[in-house]
A and B are shown apart, each in its own frame.
Chain A
Amino acid sequence: DTAVSQTPKYLVTQMGNDKSIKCEQNLGHDTMYWYKQDSKKFLKIMFSYNNKELIINETVPNRFSPKSPDKAHLNLHINSLELGDSAVYFCASSQGRNNQPQHFGDGTRLSIL
């Protein structure tokens, strides 16, 4: 019955590889987000989709590409992984674009060797 679920929970891979992280929410929300949390726990928005439309695209390298096949899913694909991509990536969802609290997944811990 997990509300926002991300897979995988842990991802260890080598520099230069391409990887994907999947996110699904069963809350019926229409807005989904990807955040990056660095080693100092600072949380930064990367992308947001509302009804499958990209509404927030922060200064993120082109190697990161989100894809929303439907309102309940927002996946994150990363090409040519770099050491600096090591972080915890959180998916979140909310109802509407403003004012509603976001519900977070448990995070995907990405480690680049």
Chain B
Amino acid sequence: GEDVEQSLFLSVREGDSSVINCTYTDSSSTYLYWYKQEPGAGLQLLTYIFSNMDMKQDQRLTVLLNKKDKHLSLRIADTQTGDSAIYFCAEIYTGGFKTIFGAGTRLFVKA
């Protein structure tokens, strides 16, 4: 079956690091994505990782992939109030040519 799971809420203080976790089921996924949704807006692609990589860093964002455990994480360094949003993990489900999204993690950043 196809499933992507994330915890629903995360609260951090401004300046701290945030770590958002995700587990997925399709071991043949070739790409895994992180999207950000701000209030009243659509989903914005933040970053992605190819399945043959363990880690990808892009400025304040670090993506870690553990293929054995089918676990993906997004670390945001020096979290700012502008990072408050919903973060969606997504995988391409190769069996059905579609992208499966997690339920989204709501990140709250306290000043």
Contact = CB atoms under 8 A, between A and B. Distances in A.
Interface residues on B, range: 20 to 34
Given A99-B30, A106-B41, A41 B104 contact: yes
Contacts, number: 52
Given A101-B33, A101-B48, A45 B99 contact: yes
Contacts of A99: 30-31, 92
Q: How would you classify the secondary structure of chain B's contact residues: helix, strand, loop or mixed?
A: strand
B98 A45 contact: yes
A104 B30 contact: no
Interface residues on A, range: 20 to 34
Interface in B28-47: 30-31, 33, 35, 37, 40-45
Contact of B94 (A55, A98, A101, A103): A98
Interface of B: 30-31, 33, 35, 37, 40-45, 48, 86, 88, 92, 94, 96-99, 101, 103-104, 106
Interface of A: 4, 40-43, 45, 48, 55-56, 90, 92, 97-99, 101-107
